[in-house]
Amino acid sequence: MEFSVNHPILFLLAGFLVLVVLAQSVYFLVKALKRSRELGMDQTKIRKTIKTAAIFTIAPAVSIVISVITLSKSLGLPLPWLRLSVVGSLSYEAIAAANAVSAMGLELGKIDSLTAQQFVNIALVMTISIMVGIWLVPVIGKKLLGGMTTLESRDAKWAGIFQNAMFIGMISAFLGYVFSDFSRLWAPVEGYSATSGLIPVCVMAVSAIIMVVLGLLMRKPKLSWLGDYALPISLVLGMVSAIPITAWLS
Partner 1 sequence: MKKNISYIDSVHRDGTIWNISVMLLLLAFPLTVAGIFGAAPDWGALAMGLLATAPMYWAVGVIETITFVPMLGAGGSYLSFVTGNISNLKLPCALNALEQNGVSASSEEGEVISTIAIATSSIVTTVIIIIGVICIVPLTPILEAPVLEPAFAQMLPALFGGLGVAFVSKNWKLAIAPVILMLILFIFVPALNAGTVGIMVPVSVLFTIAVARVLYKKGVL
The interface mask with partner 1, positions 192-231, x = CB under 8 A, is -------xxx-xxxxxx-xxx--x-----------xx-xx
The count of residues interacting with partner 1 (CB under 8 A) is 155
Contact 130, 88 (CB under 8 A): yes
Q: Is 50 in the site for partner 1 (CB under 8 A)?
A: yes
Selected from 71, 74, 76, 82, the binder of partner 1 by CB under 8 A is 82
Contact 85, 18 (CB under 8 A): yes
CA distance 45 to 225: 12
CB of 203 to partner 1, least distance (A): 4
Q: Is 191 in the site for partner 1 (CB under 8 A)?
A: no
CB of 223 to partner 1, least distance (A): 15
Q: Is 71 in the site for partner 1 (CB under 8 A)?
A: no
Selected from 44, 75, 85, 220, the binder of partner 1 by CB under 8 A is 85
CA distance 232 to 215: 13
* Residues 3-22 within binding reach of partner 1 (CB under 8 A): 3, 9-10, 13-14, 17-18, 20-22
* Eight-class DSSP state of 220: S
Selected from 107, 111, 113, 128, the binder of partner 1 by CB under 8 A is 128
How would you class 98 by CB atoms within 10 Å of its CB: exposed for 0-12, middle for 13-18, buried for 19 or more? middle
CB of 168 to partner 1, least distance (A): 5
Half-sphere exposure of 169 (CA within 13 A, CB side): 6
Selected from 111, 132, 216, 223, the binder of partner 1 by CB under 8 A is 132
Selected from 43, 111, 113, 141, the binder of partner 1 by CB under 8 A is 141
Contact 94, 71 (CB under 8 A): yes
CB of 124 to partner 1, least distance (A): 5
- Helix 43-75, helix 8-38: angle, nearest 10: 160
Contact 235, 56 (CB under 8 A): yes
Q: Is the CB of 138 or the CB of 221 nearer to partner 1?
A: 138
3-state DSSP helix/strand/coil percent for the chain, to nearest 5?
80, 0, 20
Contact 125, 100 (CB under 8 A): yes
Q: Is the CB of 57 or the CB of 195 nearer to partner 1?
A: 57
CA distance 233 to 250: 25
Q: Is 117 in the site for partner 1 (CB under 8 A)?
A: yes
Q: How far is CA 178 from CA 115, 142, 204, in A?
A: 40, 34, 8
Selected from 111, 170, 216, 223, the binder of partner 1 by CB under 8 A is 170
Selected from 43, 44, 60, 75, the binder of partner 1 by CB under 8 A is 60
